[in-house]
């Protein structure tokens, strides 16, 4: 082999090694993520290891991410509750935050304008703390009319655009896809008909996981 060819292949080998080391570093640097949410985040009605946060962390670890996901979900919490405690959730060791709130606002028929203002406050505080946010929305029914549904779902889109954060538009998107319909996936729910069972959480995580992984990949 000529010295020129040898030099070329040597440089290629070095480049490949550099890319490999860079990729490894991406996954090796521990990331702490706080998941701010309600009972869907908290894992209501499930064994601890079967909840959303533990299953999400396990999924990310399997993908090669060194990540610690903190469960900041409180059952029954509204967007107002999330706003009241986001300050202490954004501790110095938190690198990123998942915000998944609004379900209890909908169940209580709270004006989407109020919910939007609360979520806006949460996102503003995260921005002020220089903590990137992954926003999770929720698709809802027409219990309060079509206008309410459009305003409720639309607030997530508007906030994501305003704050320039990634949006996963529907927490239950994976369940809807698995059920093959826009509504109705009772086989993946607990007897209360609201909260996902362990299998339902697994489906949710498998659907949402790749987008959260992409979000985390942008942090480095």
Catalytic residues: 39, 192, 195
Contact criterion met (CB below 8 Å) for 103 and 184 = no
The residue written with tokens 């860079």 in the block is 22
CA atoms within 13 A on the CB side of 5: 2
| Cβ-Cβ contacts under 8 Å for 160 (sequence gap 6 or more) | 135, 166, 167
DSSP class of 145:
-
CA atoms within 13 A on the CB side of 69: 27
Helix (H) or strand (E) holding 38: none
């Amino acid at each position: 082999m000529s010295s020129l060819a040898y030099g070329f292949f040597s440089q290629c080998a070095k480049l490949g090694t550099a890319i490999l080391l860079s990729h490894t570093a991406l996954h090796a640097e521990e990331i702490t993520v706080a998941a701010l949410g309600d009972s869907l985040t908290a894992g209501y009605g499930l064994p601890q290891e079967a909840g959303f946060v533990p299953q999400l962390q396990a999924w990310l670890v399997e993908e090669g991410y060194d990540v610690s996901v903190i469960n900041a979900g409180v059952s029954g919490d509204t967007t107002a509750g999330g706003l009241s405690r986001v300050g202490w959730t954004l501790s110095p060791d938190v690198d990123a935050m998942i915000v998944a709130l609004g379900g209890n606002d909908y169940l209580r028929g709270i004006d989407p304008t109020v919910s939007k203002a609360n979520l806006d406050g949460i996102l503003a505080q995260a921005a002020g703390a220089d903590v990137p946010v992954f926003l999770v929305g929720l698709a809802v029914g027409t219990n309060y009319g079509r206008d309410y549904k459009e305003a409720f779902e639309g607030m997530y889109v508007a906030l994501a655009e305003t704050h320039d954060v990634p949006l996963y538009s529907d927490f239950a998107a994976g369940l809807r896809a698995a059920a093959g319909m826009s509504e109705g996936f009772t086989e993946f729910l607990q007897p209360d008909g609201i909260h996902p069972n362990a299998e339902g959480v697994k489906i949710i995580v498998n659907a949402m996981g790749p987008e959260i992984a992409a979000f985390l990949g942008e942090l480095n």
